[in-house]
Structure 1
Amino acid sequence: MTSTTSKTIAMMRTSRTRTALVGLAAAALLSLSACGSENDSRDEPDAAPSSSESPSASADDTAAAGPDLEGIPDVVAEVNGEEVTKEEFAPLYEAAFQRATMEAQMSGEAPDEEALRKQTVDDLVDTELLAQEADERGLSVTDEDVDAELEQLAQQNQMASGEELLKAIEEQGMSQDQARTQVGTQVMIEQLVADEGGPAEPTGKELREIYAQAKQAQGGQEIPPFAEVRDQIAEQAKAEETGRIAQELVDGLREDADITVNL
């Protein structure tokens, strides 16, 4: 599937669920990081762009300076007595800042660091709630589970192995340990969702509806036949259903949780 078609199909999913529950976002983040690394090496021009083609100075300056971690407390939040630390917060915040900076380069506006900090700590709180719930249910994630998920992500990115994927991620600034932690969180969330009885396999009719919407959004441009992209559409549909169920779990857990945010 071409990247344009992939984006179109993703955009055409209705009731797009917020899946920034760290773990669920991890799969997309890792995939995009790997693809971005590959695309950058392939598409990079021989000569540096002229000043007229460069992003705005304010966006570039912000990117070069990096996110401001001054004043971030050692414990950014407490969830039912469990601490969420600055050490956990920093790499996720830095990754979110990098993504926001790339988006901001188009508009020339610096990222909203306050909003990014809030989103990051909220994601960490949600993940901690889900981890506590998984522990209550006796669910656990092994190294073998993480290895298997990495291999699957590698295949989705046309890479030879999970090790190759980890190296590509590392080149994007995330350590392999951090990447494995995020993938482990994703697996944990998927286990919780499975324990809830979902997500169910999407029907052929639902997949064809998604494909029809994507085809219409292409404005007449040719896209691959349904048979060629069916598996990708099914994965997208299952991921979004997983996100929906996980968000419902989080919403319920937050109602009875003792949460203190120190930012």
Structure 2
Amino acid sequence: MNKKLLSFMLAALIALLAACGDDGATAEDKNNEEKAKQEEASGEKASGEKAKMPEPDLEGVPEVVAKVNDEEIKKKEFTETYKSQFQQMAMQSQMTGKEVDQDKLKKQVAESLVGQTLLIQEANSRDFTVSEEEKNKKLEEIAKQQKLESKEKFLSKLEEQGMKEEEVMAQVEKQMKLEKLLAEEAGDLEPTEKEMKEAYEQMKKQQEKAGGESKSKVPSYEEAKPMIKQQLSGQKEAQAYQKLVEDLKKDADVKVNV
């Protein structure tokens, strides 16, 4: 299960913003793009030919990629997710020179979709309710993260990509039900002060070990604390989701066809 599972539903929405152009791209995306361009330019100089980005191989993918209990995961859903994951892997392969193992990636994506489906099925089986107020608050939070003025601006951006407000609200409701499911199953996932300090000391050692100027760039604990808290919370949440998926699989009827 991908560690980004903890926010996969909202991430799917946010990913659409990237298609709007550079304004929707993250700093990491831009950095990766720049590195890929530099690597490509280097390849051109060395060989006299433009380095080509690998293409996703979707030949032979069945119409029903997997079946989870009575629910089918269709080729269309798999393809959309696979292309997104492949694009990231392909960019890394341009920088590292290591070829993308597409067979392995297909299995990972299929398993990820199976896990997501199991979680959604379980969340829907419980009496979780999500109010309009909760959904609107969540959308405001996402808009803020994307540096947009309001949820209306966020919805407008998504509408430009062909996603209607009703679809967005349905996806947000699913994500919030998953959050309620996780809270009920895993309880408090807030990292302790001790855990954050231990993570800080580890980070500091890694930076000092790197040597050079990085030694003087180590931030204080208080400066690094918000980032460390977010990182540890994300790790705990991903681990809790993974455990829940593994437990659900034990009683589920799952068949993967890739």
Q: How does 1:109-258 map to 2 (within 5 A)?
A: 109-140=98-129, 145=134, 147-156=136-145, 158-162=147-151, 176=163, 186-219=175-208, 220-258=215-253
Structure 1: segments with no counterpart, 5+ residues: 1-16
CA 1:191–1:257: 2 relative to 1, 3 Å: same
CA 1:85–1:246: 2 relative to 1, 3 Å: same
| Alignment length (residue pairs) | 239
Higher relative helix content: 2
| Separation (CA, whole Å) in 1 of partners of 2:156 and 2:206 | 35
TM (normalized to structure 2)?
Answer: 0.73
Match of 2:25 in 1: 37
Q: Which stretch has the larger CA shift, 185-194 or 143-152?
A: 143-152
Indicate whether 1:24 and 2:7 are aligned.
yes
Counterpart contact for 2:43–2:50, Cα < 8 Å: no
Structure number with greater CO (CA < 8 Å, separation at least 6) is 1
Give the deviation of 1:105 after TM superposition: 0.5
| Separation (CA, whole Å) in 1 of partners of 2:31 and 2:158 | 16
Equivalent residue for 1:93, pick from 73, 82, 96 = 82
| Separation (CA, whole Å) in 2 of partners of 1:121 and 1:58 | 33
CA 1:218–1:71: 2 relative to 1, 3 Å: same
Equivalent residue for 1:80, pick from 43, 64, 69 = 69
SS in 2 for 1:218: helix
Q: Cα deviations across residues 80-129 of structure 1 (Å, max 9, x unaligned)?
A: 11111112111110110001001101122331111111111101111111
| Separation (CA, whole Å) in 2 of partners of 1:262 and 1:52 | 39
Larger Rg: 2
CA 1:53–1:119: 2 relative to 1, 3 Å: same
Counterpart contact for 2:118–2:248, Cα < 8 Å: yes
CA 1:60–1:189: 2 relative to 1, 3 Å: farther
SS in 2 for 1:78: strand
Give the deviation of 1:261 after TM superposition: 1.3
Counterpart contact for 2:41–2:50, Cα < 8 Å: no
| Separation (CA, whole Å) in 2 of partners of 1:143 and 1:111 | 43
Counterpart contact for 1:59–1:109, Cα < 8 Å: no
Counterpart contact for 1:93–1:117, Cα < 8 Å: yes
| Separation (CA, whole Å) in 2 of partners of 1:41 and 1:237 | 25
Q: Which stretch has the larger CA shift, 74-83 or 135-144?
A: 135-144
Counterpart contact for 1:199–1:241, Cα < 8 Å: no
Q: Which stretch has the larger CA shift, 231-240 or 136-145?
A: 136-145
CA 1:51–1:256: 2 relative to 1, 3 Å: closer
SS in 1 for 2:62: coil
Counterpart contact for 2:33–2:91, Cα < 8 Å: no
TM (normalized to structure 1)?
Answer: 0.71
Indicate whether 1:60 and 2:52 are aligned.
yes
Give the deviation of 1:179 after TM superposition: 7.9
SS in 2 for 1:84: strand
SS in 1 for 2:217: coil
Which letter does structure 1 place at the counterpart of 2:220?
P
